[in-house]
Structure 1
């Protein structure tokens, strides 16, 4: 699979000490999420941001990208998809950490929809646990395979997870949030969640605020106050 790349924002402090990687949804590309980094820069001045374009052209939206195809005909396609797409994403993360000089324990993965599927699948299986996994409007693929989720920090802990979902999501129903949180909890992976009321398949201001606060806390920075 060809290497992936996408738009970047350098650390506001000019010295990257953390790396935040955005993973976009089905039919979008890296430009869809990178601007969130600008909203979080004041809270995360030492974080570099990058939003890679998924490796494949989207079969349903030719101008967009996909991490893997979605036909809705094969019940196993999500699991097959995340497994197939993981090596390219892992290689990108390794290269980006080396490029920025950031320690792999200071990595955060932020996904939306299909990107959340990739963030959870890949982040929970890294050689060393990322500092945080933040998933918007997504789902945990293959909860029965969580025995493979062996990523641990230097202190031996799994990565903390925050899941954010709109209660009116008609693409990935909100039940996916509760199912994922329950499965992660059973696997002793700490998972928080935030419900955005009145929100469909998207991210609102409260979701962005909770996400930024979660990342700041995970990076060991003072918890920012909502503006």
Structure 2
């Protein structure tokens, strides 16, 4: 069963739910701090950062939570840069893996919405790295459509989105141009894939940033969520 740390709304009962999906090798404790940073912008939002269900065997202690949404045995960032055709094959294989875990994440989202008495259009998904892959994969196939998807340092998996998409929420992708884990090319490929599915997205490139979130990305992400969640439902 998926679970993780939570933050209550600063004001009253929750009117929105923001779910923070961590990257490979971390756990929910790695991203719940984003909620603490954004609470003043979203005082009526509840935040939760679930731990991915997969454990990474032999993960070195002290380097995070050692969790994964799916395995990355075939992942090679250098190969992604050199060979776009092979990149498509890798992302297609990763989509298959994401499909296996998606029902667990969907069930968690449904349960959290029910906990707060909220409908699915009151949901915002935020991901980092592998968490962005899951946010895009699950969020674009949910009904009702989430209010927003914010993705840091991630990618869009597979090539069946046009046939499977159920809604077109506001999306913002933020990526460092010095990312050596998920190359910046992955963001541009995601933007093209979203456009092909008639789901254009905003984006921001963080100059000199590696695989992480910088102050500019944090500020832009918070402003994006505040704008998206302020829209009438």
- TM-score, with normalisation over the residues of structure 1? 0.90
Task: Please state how far the C-alpha of 1:148 moved relative to its aligned partner.
Answer: 3.5
2:102 paired residue among 86, 94, 99: 86
- Does the CA contact (< 8 Å) of 1:119 and 1:133 recur in 2? yes
Q: What does residue 225 of structure 1 align with?
A: none
Deviates more, 1:203-212 or 1:74-83: 74-83
Secondary structure of residue in 2 paired with 1:89: helix
Greater fraction of residues in helix: 2
Q: What does residue 8 of structure 1 align with?
A: 6
Task: Please state how far the C-alpha of 1:187 moved relative to its aligned partner.
Answer: 1.2
- Does the CA contact (< 8 Å) of 1:27 and 1:60 recur in 2? no
Classify 1:95/1:148 alpha carbon distance in 2 versus 1 (closer, same or farther; 3 Å): farther
Secondary structure of residue in 1 paired with 2:223: helix
Q: What does residue 151 of structure 1 align with?
A: 166
Secondary structure of residue in 2 paired with 1:209: helix
Cα distance per residue 1:36-87 (max 9 Å; x no partner) = 1011001000100000000010236265100011101783431121111100
Over the aligned positions, Cα root-mean-square deviation in angstroms equals: 1.5
- Does the CA contact (< 8 Å) of 1:59 and 1:69 recur in 2? no
1:58 paired residue among 56, 59, 70: 56
How many matched pairs?
A: 213
Classify 1:148/1:60 alpha carbon distance in 2 versus 1 (closer, same or farther; 3 Å): farther
Q: Does 1:220 align with 2:230?
A: yes
Q: How does 1:13-92 map to 2 (within 5 A)?
A: 13-59=11-57, 61=59, 63-72=65-74, 75=90, 76-92=92-108
For residues 214 and 121 of structure 1, what CA distance do their matches in structure 2 show? 20
Q: What does residue 173 of structure 2 align with?
A: 163
2:185 paired residue among 175, 190, 198: 175
- TM-score, with normalisation over the residues of structure 2? 0.88
Q: Does 1:117 align with 2:119?
A: no
For residues 110 and 60 of structure 1, what CA distance do their matches in structure 2 show? 28
Task: Please state how far the C-alpha of 1:105 moved relative to its aligned partner.
Answer: 0.5
Task: Please state how far the C-alpha of 1:22 moved relative to its aligned partner.
Answer: 0.4
For residues 27 and 167 of structure 1, what CA distance do their matches in structure 2 show? 22
For residues 131 and 163 of structure 2, what CA distance do their matches in structure 1 show? 19
Gaps of 5+ in 1: 153-157, 222-227
- Does the CA contact (< 8 Å) of 2:98 and 2:134 recur in 1? yes
Secondary structure of residue in 2 paired with 1:175: helix
Gaps of 5+ in 2: 76-88
